[in-house]
């Protein structure tokens, strides 16, 4: 779950307000103290926390809120708005050059995920209809060039390299010329990183910048490094002038500090977040949607976009019909799981559904290995059982377990998971219907 600890604590604190009919200033203060602690524990920059809390308090104890019919809800709304503002308010897109190619320079420390992100960004742009070229400008890290070539090969995106004996400035320059000649409208330059910020690195990056005049300099930072990531962003920005940040490893055990402080401290927007090692796991960053996820309000828009980008539309329509008519079977379940695998871990998807809490998510977590087990169990079912799981009684469960080499317990779990998934999908479809009718999401 995104920022699990922070999300749990914030939601817990705000829950207390939501249930109250009337609020006193003290109630708000008390809860804001908890919110403050939660943010500090999440490694959010101290100054950022202080400003945030002051702003929320100021707005929350205003007459309008206190005298409204639902003061608790109003405070939650204010927290949502201020969290959104903290992360930049609006979604910051890549600026494309009016005359191609658009040149994007990726910078960052070693291990931040620059090379991987170069590939991911290429894949993302390709989906938008662009024709990207990756340029291998990291000539120092052993195997960086090879890594980019492998990534490019996997994505069917061309990679320009002049080996490791030519200066990065020259490589960047020739890379752009190459793009011009070969119809590539976006050039993504991978640059060298170091373990720490050092003078040589900065000079080299400045030289590249001077020669190629990139349209976007994007700094790749590892979200897991918390406040360090924020310092790195501040430093790179002061020295090089960056246009935005890509936060990687947001799928990991990050407490959230970097995502919540980078914008305020470095004054530059987060443009994308890396949500996994796979090359498809890069998401445009939407401050409001992230705030919703942190506050447990889900993120239906991102979920829909993800699904649209990855699903086979005909299949999706068939599935939608089945979910609506409650006709969803184990065959569809298996099919669905395989499609979902393309979207990333199920737990990541489910947290985008409003109201899905972390406990529920843990219950449903399915990993790739389990997927193979599930496949085996479903294969051991008869067609009738797959279509009508309610007939799967004790002796059938034993037979399915024996047939798939699993325990009866595992079969029981699968049946439970199936029911839960079905229920979640029903919720999702009802919610969507509600939205279409013009109703508001809670
Ligand atoms: P570079 O030195 O900055 O070029 O870093 P790499 O691209 O080689 O990435 C370093 C490591 O981070 C690799 O093992 C990547 O698979 C991993 N990585 C990059 N982005 C992400 C991400 O968003 N999530 C996770 N979990 N791992 C990532």
167 C-alpha vs ligand 1 centroid, how far in Å?
A: 24
Please give the tally of structural domains in the chain. Answer: 3
Counting from 1 in the atom list of ligand 1, the atom nearest the Cα of 120 is 20
Counting from 1 in the atom list of ligand 1, the atom nearest the Cα of 112 is 3
Whole-angstrom Cα distance, residue 162 to residue 145? 9
Pocket flag, ligand 1, residue 118 (CB < 6 Å)? no
pLDDT per residue of the chain (442 residues) written in tens, 0 to 9: 568 788 888 888 888 887 777 788 888 899 999 999 999 999 999 999 999 999 999 998 887 777 777 788 888 889 999 999 999 988 889 999 999 999 999 999 999 999 999 999 999 999 999 999 999 999 998 899 999 999 999 999 999 999 999 999 999 999 999 999 999 999 999 999 888 888 889 999 999 999 999 999 999 999 999 889 999 999 999 999 999 999 999 988 788 889 999 999 999 999 999 999 999 999 999 999 889 888 877 776 777 777 667 666 677 677 667 766 667 788 887 777 667 667 766 666 666 766 655 555 555 555 566 777 888 899 899 989 998 888 999 999 999 999 999 999 999 998 988 888 777 777 766 766 666 565 444 3
Helix (H, G, I), strand (E, B) or coil at 382: coil
Shared domain check, 310 and 270: no
CB of 309 closer than 8 Å to CB of 303 = no
Looking up residue 146, the CATH number of its domain turns out to be 3.40.50.300
Give, for 283, the enclosing helix (H) or strand (E): strand 282-284
Check: complex ipTM more than 0.95: yes
Residue 318 lies in a domain: yes
Whole-angstrom Cα distance, residue 195 to residue 224? 15
Single residue among 297, 322, 354 that ends a domain in this structure: 297
Shared domain check, 336 and 403: yes
439 annotated as a binding-site residue: no
Shared domain check, 274 and 320: no
pLDDT, residue 295, reads 84
Tell me the pairing of strands 132-136 and 159-160.
parallel
Looking up residue 82, the CATH number of its domain turns out to be 1.20.120.140
Q: Show the domain range for 146.
A: 102-297
Pocket flag, ligand 1, residue 413 (CB < 6 Å)? no
């Amino acid at each position: 779950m995104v920022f699990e600890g922070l999300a749990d604590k914030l939601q817990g604190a705000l829950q207390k307000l939501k249930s109250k009919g009337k609020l006193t200033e003290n109630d708000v203060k008390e809860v804001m103290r908890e919110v403050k602690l939660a943010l500090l524990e999440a490694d959010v920059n101290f100054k950022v926390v202080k400003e945030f809390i002051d702003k929320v308090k100021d707005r929350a104890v205003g007459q309008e809120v206190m005298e409204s019919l639902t003061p608790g809800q109003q405070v939650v709304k204010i927290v949502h708005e201020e969290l959104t503002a903290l992360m930049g308010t609006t979604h910051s897109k890549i600026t494309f050059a009016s005359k191609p190619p658009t040149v994007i320079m990726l910078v960052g420390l070693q291990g931040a995920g620059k090379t991987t992100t170069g590939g991911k960004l290429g894949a993302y742009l390709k989906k938008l209809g662009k024709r990207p070229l990756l340029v291998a400008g990291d000539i120092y890290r052993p195997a960086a060039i090879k890594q980019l070539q492998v990534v490019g090969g996997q994505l069917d995106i061309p990679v320009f390299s002049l080996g490791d004996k030519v200066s990065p400035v020259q490589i960047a320059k020739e890379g752009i010329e190459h793009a011009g000649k070969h119809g590539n409208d976006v050039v993504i330059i991978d640059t060298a990183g170091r373990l720490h910020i050092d003078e040589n690195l900065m000079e080299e990056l400045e030289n590249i910048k001077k020669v190629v005049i990139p349209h976007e300099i994007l700094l790749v930072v590892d979200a897991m490094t918390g406040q360090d990531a924020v310092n790195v962003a501040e430093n790179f920005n002061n020295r090089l002038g960056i246009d935005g940040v890509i936060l990687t490893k947001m799928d990991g055990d990050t407490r959230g500090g970097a995502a919540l402080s980078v914008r305020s401290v470095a004054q530059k927007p987060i443009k994308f977040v890396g949500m996994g090692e796979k090359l498809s796991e890069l998401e445009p960053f939407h401050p409001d949607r992230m705030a919703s996820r942190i506050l447990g309000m889900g993120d239906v828009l991102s979920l829909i976009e993800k699904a649209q980008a990855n699903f086979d539309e005909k299949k999706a329509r068939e599935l939608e019909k089945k979910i609506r008519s409650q006709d969803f079977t184990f065959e569809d379940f298996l099919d669905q799981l395989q499609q979902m695998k393309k979207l990333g871990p199920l737990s990541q998807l489910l947290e985008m559904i409003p109201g899905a809490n972390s406990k529920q998510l843990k219950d449903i977590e399915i990993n790739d290995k389990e997927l193979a087990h599930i496949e085996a169990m479903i294969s051991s079912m008869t067609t009738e059982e797959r279509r009508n799981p309610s007939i799967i009684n004790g002796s059938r469960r034993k037979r399915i377990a024996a047939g798939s080499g699993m325990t009866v317990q595992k079969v029981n779990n699968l049946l439970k998971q199936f029911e839960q998934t079905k229920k979640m999908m029903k919720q999702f479809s009802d919610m969507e219907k509600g939205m279409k009718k013009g109703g508001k999401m809670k």
